[in-house]
Amino acid sequence: MILEKDVVVVGAGPAGLAAAIEAAKAGAAVLLVDLNLKAGGQLFKQIHKFFGSRAHYSGTRGYDIGKKLVKEATESQVEIWLQSTAVGVFPGNKVSIERILQNGGKKLYTVHGKTIILATGASENVVRFKGWTRPGVMGAGAAQTMVNVDHVKPGQKIVMLGSGNVGLIVSYQLMQAGCDVVALVEAAPKIGGYAVHAAKIRRAGVPIFTKHTIVEALGDAEGKVSGAVIAEVDEKFQPIPGTEQTIPCDTITLAAGLKPVVELTRLMNCASAFEPVLGGFIPMHNQDMETSVQGIFVAGDATGVEEASVALEEGRIAGVAAAQALGLLSQEDAESQKQFYWNRVNSLRSGPFGEKRLAAKQDVLQCYQEQIHTPQPEVMIGGLASGAD
Amino acid sequence: MALIDTGYLTYRELMEKQKLPTEERFLQGPVAVVECVQEIPCNPCEAACPFGAIHVGEPITNLPVLSAEKCKGCGACVAKCPGMAIFVIDKSYSQTKGSVSFPYEYYPLPEVGSTVTVVNRQGEAVGNGKVLRVQNPVSFDHTPVVTVEVDLKLINEVRSMERRHS
Amino acid sequence: MSLRVKNHIVLDVKDERKTVTITVDGKPVQAKEGEPILSSLLAAGIKINRYTRRFHEPRGLFCAIGQCTDCVMVVNGKPNVRTCVTPVQEGMVVETQDGLEQKGGHK
């Protein structure tokens, strides 16, 4: 049996929740699916107060934003399926969903969505060095999940690799949980993230090694991490022999950036663009967050890695646009709502930290305008979807 | 800018990037010192001030500007700043001592009246300080503000205390 | 030494979930009902979940969100269970996985 929905949203992080809420508020029957045990995506592990404008929850801790969104979604009659993985999308806007049932069994559902919003988020990049597969080497996001969601420390002495906002914030949060961050290692000559985040961990005594990298994870008798060998790097980021030093630790966390999760948009043959600033290949989209394929919308990190506050606003735009496509909102209402959220997105992309992302996104919008112009009905896999990578 | 090389500001850098209260104002009583020097999209400090002493305006990437004459040194902004980059300094405390208020989000909190090791912006221990106050009302949303008494000569350097283990 | 976070200035870490007992490689381990199996193991100091097939190398927590499969174990006799996204239930029998399906990597 095929279930019928106006909107199927894949991913219940900030973008997916916001999209589901907007579409449901306009009167759409919305199904929101997520593979995790809980809705909210990364918001529940973000225990710091958000930056941004007061209008978009700044000064509020991530988990409180998560709680508000989940409540709003429930009140707006969004149907939420958890432990439910979208394993495929097929021509005719059908989504295959593998759902874990109460009794631990699995059931495969096929849901037809008149529109589909893909808010699948991003995954962490890995960095390879000798010993990188040892137990104790993990993603910074994984360590953040352990301390902030499960309240278990991944280890006691941590070496963090990467000084972007994730590396800085997770270092701080590991200390808040009672771990010691014994070194933060960054290959670039400068700290990547916000200086205020760096300042917090410097005040707590964390040494920051810029122009350094990890060359090896040492192991104990069982093979678990027992130390990190770090070394200075040259201008080409190659380790300089003779500069190695060993830092005893039981955990190495990797914060080397994120990349958009795009398997589902690829399955739909959505045209994509390569934007390194946004994390790599991303589905192209227009001002409605609609991809090259009619009725398939995207939002959040899946369409370029930015901050949760941006994902939220993009989600709202996608939700409004999907409702408009379904005829649930007048053009006038929809346009004014979208413009309101676009203004917020643009203000979040202002300033020296946002301008590169703003330029990359404008590039995506412009390429879409030139190469695709209007969304086309989907083409079978192997077909001639113009602009597809 | 040394800040993004090292992760900490020097006082000299701070003076170049932010308009600090005048020495005259410092001697009149507690006042906020805003150590926010990067144009990031953020403005909760503006609304946090009950006296309208902090201005960000539009675009929200503007650096906050403190009107020291309007600031009463109440510290409402210290807990609200997501970057934990605002401090309250009181140089009028006594002939030899002043006080520094800073956000401190670690467990355990220090006891009022106890002596703690105070640290500078690089996390280096620079001396001892007596804990005068620990404020942690619901409105601070789990960002306690600790006020320590320190030697006046350390007042521009002390910005936190040594983190302790539970 | 337990790696559970006992106190936190921001988070409420009081855990009122029921304490249950699971069996890990034949030994009893205390766990919180409903938490991911991986968390219970980590809290008990167990950091190796499986061994690789060809080189018999240890693997453990890596992504914690069900993507990487480094934490798969044999749960109630079933191999390849992602312990980071599988909630704990009373009496679960968990075994270190060796290769693709066999249990008993720990010697």
pLDDT tens figures, C31-72:
999 999 999 999 999 999 999 999 999 999 999 988 889 999
Q: Does C65 touch chain B (CB under 8 A)?
A: no
Q: How far apart are CA A321 and CA A326, in angstroms?
A: 9
Beta pairing class for A296-298 and A106-118: parallel
Q: How far apart are CA A349 and CA A60, in angstroms?
A: 19
Q: How far apart are CA A211 and CA A234, in angstroms?
A: 7
> Residue B52 falls within a domain, yes or no?
yes
B166 contacts in C (CB within 8 Å)?
Answer: 6-7
> Residue B48 falls within a domain, yes or no?
yes
Query: Is B119 within 8 Å of B146 (Cβ atoms)?
Result: no
> Residue B47 falls within a domain, yes or no?
yes
The number of folded domains in chain B is: 1
Chains that touch B (3 or more CB pairs under 8 A): A, C
pLDDT tens figures, B85-130:
999 999 999 999 999 999 999 999 999 999 999 999 999 999 999 9
Complete DSSP assignment for A246-264:
EEE-SEEEE---EEE--HH
**A95 has pLDDT over 60:** yes
Q: Does A256 touch chain C (CB under 8 A)?
A: no
> Residue B70 falls within a domain, yes or no?
yes
Q: Does C9 touch chain A (CB under 8 A)?
A: yes
Q: How far apart are CA C96 and CA A51, in angstroms?
A: 43
**B143 has pLDDT over 60:** yes
In angstroms, the separation between the Cα of residue A176 and the nearest Cα of chain C is: 7
Q: Does A152 touch chain C (CB under 8 A)?
A: yes
> Residue B166 falls within a domain, yes or no?
no
CB within 8 Å of chain A, chain C residues 88-107: none
In angstroms, the separation between the Cα of residue B109 and the nearest Cα of chain C is: 8
Q: How far apart are CA C58 and CA C50, in angstroms?
A: 6
Put simply, the answer to whether B42 touches A348 (Cβ < 8 Å) is no
Mean of the per-residue pLDDT values of chain C: 92
Report ipTM (2 d.p.): 0.96
**Chain B positions touching chain C (beta carbons under 8 Å):** 105-109, 142, 144, 166
> Residue B63 falls within a domain, yes or no?
yes
Mean of the per-residue pLDDT values of chain A: 94
Domain residues for the domain of B114 are 3-161
B46 contacts in A (CB within 8 Å)?
Answer: 54
Query: Is C18 within 8 Å of C89 (Cβ atoms)?
Result: no
Beta pairing class for C93-95 and A258-260: unpaired
Put simply, the answer to whether A202 touches B41 (Cβ < 8 Å) is no
- Characterise C56 by phi-psi region: left (phi > 0), alpha (psi -120 to 50), beta (else): left
Query: C-alpha dihedral over A157, A160, A165, A171, to 10 degrees?
Result: 0
Please tell me which of the candidates A137, A148, A152 has its beta carbon nearest to residue C11: A148
Residue of chain A minimizing CA distance to C45: A155
Q: Does C1 touch chain B (CB under 8 A)?
A: no
pLDDT tens figures, A35-81:
988 999 999 999 999 998 877 788 999 999 999 999 999 999 999 99
Residue of chain B minimizing CA distance to A62: B82
> Helices in A277-330 by DSSP H: which ranges?
308-325
Put simply, the answer to whether A222 touches C48 (Cβ < 8 Å) is yes
Give me the domains of chain C, ranges plus CATH numbers: 19-98 (3.10.20.440)
Say if residue B111 is exposed, middle or buried (CB neighbours under 10 Å; 0-12, 13-18, 19+). exposed
